[in-house]
């Protein structure tokens, strides 16, 4: 089974962000991302059925869909999407930590009592950026650890107000304080590649999903080395669609992986992380 761990699908939660004309034009040109990959037809046409067809063509069995709170994404819309495609989609409820009571309530509603599998938070991109090792966030981590809820952070990448929100020591503090909490880092902690690999090696509850930073960025060879050897059980394939097309991302990953580690990176590690 192949699982794409990060797909911003064409549905209501992303209509006014990734699928605006300006954003698609940006992605379809020589953009600052410079991924040298055409935008998928499903993105250009804002078509969920076409995305499923592209996943079939790429041989991708399941897609993990997160909600972005910073762009006013709604978990209700994600649950409605999962209801349409329950065999193909895995939901990550977006959580705004600024209101801890609400954060706990939404985690309970959409994960414990809902159809989402885990939660996602974006410390460097939220409307009010925050540090993941802030003590006031610990009640949420503690709740997720006790309920065995996977926690995903967008942690790394270019879209942040300051690199200080992605300092590797921050995530190391959380992983050490909550050793039974499964933590995954979207964007793989980039650009602190070596540092987050060391953390993932020492903290076996930390997984890295480098998405296109394993394909089109400085440090990509280090992610590949980690996936092939020391971190073969904790590197996770992800496309970051619509930034990368599904097929191109999959082929890019496979081209860098030894045959014996492909099942782990392309699906088994994600399934273990998500408890599925």
pLDDT digits (tens, 9 = 90+) for 186-218: 999 999 999 999 999 999 999 999 999 999 899
Two tokens at 30? 């020589």
Each residue of 17-34: pLDDT tens digit? 887 877 777 776 655 455
State how far the Cα of 64 lies from the Cα of 239, in Å rounded to an integer.
Answer: 10
- Nearest residue to 193 (alpha-carbon basis) of 233, 228, 224: 224
Task: Sketch the domain layout of the chain as residue ranges.
Answer: 3-274
Average pLDDT over residues 218-231: 97
Amino acid 166: pLDDT = 97
Amino acid 32: pLDDT = 46
State how far the Cα of 95 lies from the Cα of 107, in Å rounded to an integer.
Answer: 7
Lowest mean pLDDT among 13-22, 96-105, 209-218, 234-243: 13-22
> Which class in CATH covers the domain with range 3-274?
alpha beta
Average pLDDT over residues 156-169: 91
Mean model confidence pLDDT for the chain? 94
């Amino acid at each position: 089974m192949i699982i794409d761990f990060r797909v911003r699908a064409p549905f209501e939660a992303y209509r006014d962000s990734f699928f605006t004309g300006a954003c698609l034009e940006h992605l379809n040109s020589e953009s600052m991302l410079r991924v040298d990959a055409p935008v998928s037809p499903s993105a250009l046409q804002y078509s969920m059925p076409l995305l499923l067809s592209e996943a079939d063509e790429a041989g991708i069995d399941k897609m993990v869909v997160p909600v972005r709170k910073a762009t006013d994404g709604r978990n209700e819309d994600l649950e409605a999407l999962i209801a349409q495609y329950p065999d193909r989609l895995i939901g990550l409820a977006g959580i705004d930590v600024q209101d801890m009571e609400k954060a706990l309530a939404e985690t309970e509603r959409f994960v414990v009592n809902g159809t989402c599998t885990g939660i996602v938070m974006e410390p460097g991109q939220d409307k009010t950026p925050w540090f993941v090792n802030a003590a006031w966030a610990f009640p949420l981590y503690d709740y997720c650890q006790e309920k065995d809820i996977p926690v995903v952070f967008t942690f790394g990448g270019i879209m942040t107000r300051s690199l200080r929100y992605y300092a590797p020591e921050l995530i190391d503090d959380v992983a050490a304080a909550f050793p039974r909490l499964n933590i995954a880092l979207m964007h793989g902690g980039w650009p602190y590649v070596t540092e987050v690999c060391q953390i993932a090696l020492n903290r076996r509850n930390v997984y890295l999903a480098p998405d296109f930073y394993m394909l089109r960025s400085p440090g990509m060879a280090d992610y590949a080395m980690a996936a092939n050897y020391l971190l073969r059980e904790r590197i996770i394939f992800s496309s970051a669609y619509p930034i990368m097309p599904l097929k191109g991302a999959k082929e890019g990953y496979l081209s860098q992986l030894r045959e014996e580690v492909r099942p782990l990176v392309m699906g088994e590690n994600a399934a273990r992380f998500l408890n599925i």
